[in-house]
């Protein structure tokens, strides 16, 4: 079994409920179980203007699936929940990203792990530190806590909602 970390986000509709529903659905993926969940955060959109704030969090999974099969299942959940992929960084009902898949480094056409932007996103680092502060990023060689400590980006407000 492999431990994978999945970033979760929503900024359309009932954002908190969308995140909760996606976690419930993720827990039903064959040969996969949710092992931990961060609190949810209200987060400022990054890289775009004029969008509503997000609800974000991270879960850890134990899975017997390959990274590609896990990705397929996550994309199926997004589709079932009504995600429409019109343009990059568009508003979405749900977004499920593989952040880490064990300590593997994967560079394929449709999948890059570790997620190439995770160390630049406070909305990923805050919940990652909550779940696994000492986990080492397999490319950057720093712990999640160290990446957050070094974080310097401005304009990325992350406000804990206080509930998982």
Q: How many CA atoms lie within 13 A of 92 on its CB side?
A: 27
Question: How far apart are alpha carbons 38 and 116 in whole angstroms?
Answer: 21
- Euclidean distance between the first and the last CA atom of the chain, given in angstroms as a whole number: 24
Active site residue 97: yes
For residue 62, the number of C-alpha atoms closer than 13 Å in the C-beta half-sphere is 4
Catalytic annotation on 152? Answer: no
Query: Residues 20, 42, 69, 97: which is the catalytic one?
Result: 97
Catalytic option among 83, 110, 122, 134: 83
Please give the structure tokens belonging to residue 124.
């990923």
Nearest to 32 by CA among 72, 75, 2: 2
Catalytic residue list contains 85: no
Catalytic entry in 76, 85, 92, 134: 92
Q: Is 95 a catalytic residue?
A: yes
The full length of the chain comes to: 164
Catalytic pick from 85, 90, 95, 134?
95
CA distance 125 to 50: 23
Q: Which residues are catalytic?
A: 83, 92, 95, 97
């Amino acid at each position: 079994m492999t431990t994978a970390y999945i970033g979760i986000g929503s900024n359309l509709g009932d954002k908190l409920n969308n995140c909760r529903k996606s976690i419930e659905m993720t827990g039903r993926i064959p040969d996969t179980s949710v092992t931990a969940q961060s609190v949810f955060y209200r987060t400022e959109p990054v890289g775009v203007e004029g969008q509503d704030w997000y609800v974000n969090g991270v879960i850890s999974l134990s899975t017997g699936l390959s990274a590609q099969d896990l990705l397929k299942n996550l994309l199926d959940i997004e589709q079932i929940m009504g995600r429409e992929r019109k343009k990059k960084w568009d508003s979405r009902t749900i977004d499920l990203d593989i952040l880490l898949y064990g300590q593997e480094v994967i560079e394929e056409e449709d999948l890059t792990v570790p997620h190439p932007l995770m160390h630049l996103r406070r909305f990923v680092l805050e919940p990652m530190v909550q779940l696994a502060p000492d986990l080492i990023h397999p490319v950057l060689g720093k712990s999640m806590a160290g990446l957050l400590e070094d974080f310097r980006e401005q304009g990325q407000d992350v406000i804990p909602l206080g509930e998982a």
